[in-house]
Amino acid sequence: MAGKRKKKIRVAFRKNRQKRTRSGDLTRQIRNDLDELDQIESGERISGKGELTRHRTIIADADEDGTAVLRQVDEAACLRGRVRSAIGANNCQVETPDGSLYHCTVRRVLRTLLRQARSPVVAGDLVLFQPEGDSKGVIERVEPRHGTLSRVSRGLEHVIAANSDQALIVGSAAEPQLKPSLIDRFLVSAGKGGLHVIICINKVDLTDATALQPIAGMYGRLGYDVVMTSATEGHGVDHLRRLLHGRQTLVAGQSGVGKSSLLNAVQPGLGRAISGVSRDSGKGRHTTRVTELIPLTEGGSVIDTPGIRQFELWDVIAEEVEAWFVEFRPFVALCRFPDCSHTHEADCAVKQAVVEGRIASHRFESYVRIMSGDS
């Protein structure tokens, strides 16, 4: 690789918080250790005397500043593919450029390298994997990602999907009610992940569509594509189909807003499972349980994701939140204090713009909630 150099890095070979247990079946333990040793690439070694202190030294390609980027693997022995779906941390379906599908596990050292992520491999990832016969394989490396949507999950980064061109953020006019604050969080994450955004308000047949025009117009003026749809009546589906044509699109939104129904309408015969909203809670039921990449017959693909009820932003510091609220930009320089947070300071031009109706109050409320850490 041009501009890359090799670097040795140390990673924990075993979890360092596991309890010591009495040795049971020594034969099985020896066989497992031998299997792990067989997986070591040339130039890698294991050190550490105790089970709790073992580390692996691996060779990685690094940038000029020495930052490790990719684990070095024998590319000649690997196939390239894109992850269609990933269940847990070690069960993936990978599609090669010729359309072949492989059921793959993830090399253990790769899972260790990505310990800050909830899952080492996600739908949409471009990977190198070693085929092992009978349409099976082992993923050896995940290529650098672009076009991602991430949130916090159990203190770790949950990359929902990767390598998309755009995100289709779906809300519903009713059943469940539209949640602009959740849409705003999606917009921040999508902006940070480099995704163009389409905002879709579905189920417009359940309410007076004219009542939705102010909020749809507001997002449109901010530069987002906005489409209003009814998956059951077909309203807006042709427009949405054109927006998805030839693009790699990540589909996300609250549970029950009709993401799967929309995809069934966009591509008749797709057969995605659907369900209604819970009568007891008024909230959507989780129908889609696995994030899955779906090719579109007219070109492009979509990544259908499970519904989300809460969205805590990952790796977004307070100082950069205002950058993703694009309507703040004309007023930021007019604040009295150069480090104004636009939450409590006096003579804040952003707050004054809210009072004057030049910034939507619900957008400002979303901003304040994000700044305060509320999810």
pLDDT digits (tens, 9 = 90+) for 70-82: 778 899 999 999 9
Radius of gyration of the chain (CA): 24
**Per-residue pLDDT reduced to its tens digit, 134-166:** 899 999 999 999 999 999 988 889 999 999 999
At the top level of CATH, which class does the domain 318-372 belong to? Answer: mainly alpha
- Residue positions forming the annotated binding site for GTP: 202-205, 253-261
The tokens describing 310, both together, are 């809460």
Strand-pairing partners, residue 312, are none
The pair phi, psi for residue 3, each rounded to 5°, is 75, 10
Among candidate residues 133, 134, 136, 105, the one with its CA nearest the CA of residue 121:
105
Distance CA 318, CA 320 (A): 6
CATH 1.10.40.50 intervals, the chain: 318-372
Q: Which of 57-71, 104-118, 133-147, 216-230 has the lowest mean pLDDT?
A: 57-71
Q: Is residue 37 scored above 60 in pLDDT?
A: no
The pair phi, psi for residue 144, each rounded to 5°, is -55, 140
Domain over 75-142 is classified CATH 2.40.50.140: yes
Q: Please report which confidence band the pLDDT of residue 274 belongs to, taking 50, 70 and 90 as the band edges.
A: confident
Question: Between 3.60.9.10, 3.40.50.300, 3.30.1330.40, 3.40.50.1970, what CATH number should domain 149-304 receive?
Answer: 3.40.50.300
- Residue positions forming the annotated binding site: 202-205, 253-261, 335, 340, 342, 348
Residues of 74-113 as b/e, b for ≥16 C-beta within 10 angstroms? Answer: eeeebbebbbbbbeebbebbbbeeeeeebebbbbbbbbbb
Predicted local confidence at residue 322, as pLDDT: 93
Contact in structure between 315 and 117 (CB atoms under 8 Å): no
The tokens describing 135, both together, are 């349409």
Alpha carbons within 13 A on the beta-carbon side of 144: 7
Angle at 31 between CA 28 and CA 37, to 5 degrees: 145
Among candidate residues 204, 130, 196, 203, the one with its CA nearest the CA of residue 169:
196
Give residue for tokens 């039921």: 285
State which H helix or E strand residue 319 sits in: helix 318-321
Predicted local confidence at residue 67, as pLDDT: 40
Among candidate residues 117, 120, 141, the one with its CA nearest the CA of residue 129:
141
**What amino acid is encoded at 63 in this protein?**
D
pLDDT, average across residues 327-340: 96
CATH 3.40.50.300 intervals, the chain: 149-304
Distance CA 109, CA 111 (A): 5
Q: Which of 22-31, 155-164, 241-250 has the lowest mean pLDDT?
A: 22-31
Predicted local confidence at residue 110, as pLDDT: 82
- What three-state secondary structure class fits 9? strand
Among candidate residues 196, 234, 235, 191, the one with its CA nearest the CA of residue 212:
235
Angle at 237 between CA 231 and CA 240, to 5 degrees: 125
The tokens describing 275, both together, are 């369900």
- Alpha carbon 301 to its chain centroid, in Å, reads 16
Q: Is residue 47 scored above 80 in pLDDT?
A: no
Contact in structure between 258 and 202 (CB atoms under 8 Å): yes
Distance CA 343, CA 373 (A): 13
Alpha carbons within 13 A on the beta-carbon side of 211: 10
- Higher-confidence residue: 239 or 72? 239
The pair phi, psi for residue 180, each rounded to 5°, is -60, -35
CATH 2.40.50.140 intervals, the chain: 75-142
- Residue positions forming the annotated binding site for Zn(2+): 335, 340, 342, 348
